Amino acid sequence: MMRVSRHPGNADPIAKKRTLHLLPFEYNGPARGSREPLSFNHIAMCPLTRCPSNPARPLLVLLWVALCCMIVAAPLLVVHFPALAAMLYLFFAPICHQNPDRSFIIAGHALAVCHRCTGVYLGLLIGSLTPPLRLGSLSTPPQRRALVVCCTLPLLLDVALSSLGIWTNNMSSRFSTGLLFGAMLSTLLVSGIEELIDRHSWKMIRFQTAHVKGGIS
Amino acid sequence: MNQEGMFKPALIGGVLLGMLSAIPVISLFNCVCCAWVIGGGMLAAHLYVRGAATVVTLGSGILLGLLTGAIGAVVDTLFTIPIHLALRPFGMGFAEQMRQAIDQLPNVPPETRDALRSFFAGGRGIGFLFIILTGFFKLVVYGVMGMIGGAIGVALFEKRKPGTEPPVYQPPMNIPPPPPPPPPDIPAQP
């Protein structure tokens, strides 16, 4: 495990106080065998971004990877494990129309969800894998609203214009609009869940500090 | 984060999305990316943002959406039972709908289809067991989709910038202690 700087200058104050058991990537606490006491100033750092890590992103990546694997596994299991494949198709049936004409084909069988939903789930995964950009894209409400509108409008237009008979959507348009929508959703979810975890860990630290130090904070 | 004020919007959004998701034909709208669930989360976020005194953050919206989705899943499951009991005489009960869903599944071999169909023909107990199991499944899916709806709702409806909320009254911290009471009059010793 790589040991990184203990006092990063760019860490925000809430992340500096994050508890040790919430840390997914790295822990830069006292070295093994040292007599230095464990404290909450030991901050976990993401090895890629060099900023305090938060478990929201890896947890969401795991969730979306699991969903994507289930989507792809359904047609692959049809031949050897048909009951399992049927269960996977049933799992996604309430949230997708599963029309084979509007689904990707793998090994001669349709995926468990349609083109658009495949794009949405893949977008959710890609959005979660993208390293955090410190460009302030979600820092103000107008920017956030613009992001939601810009990524949702193509999808709504694709559906609405096709329903009205003005435009005939195809595989590419369905998949790409779903991908854009999913990536936007992922950005919102990661930001929000990271914020939630920061707040929650802050409360946990206060509780634990009170427990350890006999009610100081 | 005012978590007490979240419950009322979550209850309104959750009950609405649960009822709409339980009604047989109207619930088909959920096939479009769980549209009722995302809509319920957005409605709850709109109500919460409208009534909140301070700026609502994305994290609050996600928590609100999670609560809305969970309430919606419970309401949906509770509404599903009487609706399917009422529709059973007309051949539209839960087992019949599951059989129809199995018939519409793509790529499933006939023998698997027959096995699943015979499983769902196992009587009333199977139907209720599956309603309960589906309820747990809905709790997870509606929770995730509700979070998405809450996040979209906050992103769309929260127009205030952070730091523009009205100042909150804080009582003064360093109040000087009250003066000690005057000593009681001691009678003079004779």
Closest chain B residue to A192, measured at CA: B59
pLDDT in tens, B114-134: 777 776 666 666 667 777 888
Mutate to test the interface with A, among B29, B30, B64, B107 (most CBs of A within 10 A): B107
Q: Which range is most confident: A29-33, A97-101, A120-124, B101-105?
A: A120-124
Q: Is the pLDDT of residue A88 over 60?
A: yes
At A139 the pLDDT is 66
Please tell me if residue B164 touches chain A, with a CB cutoff of 8 Å. Answer: no
Do residue B155 and residue A191 have CB atoms under 8 angstroms apart? no
Phi, then psi, of A52 in degrees rounded to 5: -55, 130
Do residue B160 and residue A94 have CB atoms under 8 angstroms apart? no
Q: Is the pLDDT of residue B149 over 90?
A: yes
Supply angle C-alpha A8, A11, A17, rounded to 5: 100
At A134 the pLDDT is 46
**Other Cβ atoms within 10 Å of B22 Cβ, number:** 21
A116 interaction partners in chain B (CB closer than 8 Å)? 33
Q: Which range is most confident: A197-206, B10-19, B89-98?
A: B10-19
pLDDT in tens, A37-52: 544 444 455 544 445 5
Least confident range from A109-118, A187-196, B59-68, B156-165: namely B156-165
Q: Which two tokens stand for residue A55?
A: 């478990």
d(CA A174, CA A176): 6
Chain B, residues 108-147, CB within 8 A of chain A, namely 108-109, 111-113, 115-116, 137, 141, 144-145, 147
Residues 6+ away with beta carbon under 8 Å from B74: B14, B18, B135, B139
In Å, what is the CA distance from A16 to each residue of A23, A41, A53, A112, B1? 12, 6, 10, 43, 21
pLDDT in tens, B22-50: 887 888 777 777 888 999 999 999 999 99
At B31 the pLDDT is 78
Do residue A185 and residue B148 have CB atoms under 8 angstroms apart? yes
Q: pTM for this one?
A: 0.71
Q: Is the pLDDT of residue A5 over 80?
A: no
Asked if B154 and B45 touch (Cβ cutoff 8 Å), the reply is yes
Q: For the complex shown, is ipTM > 0.85?
A: no
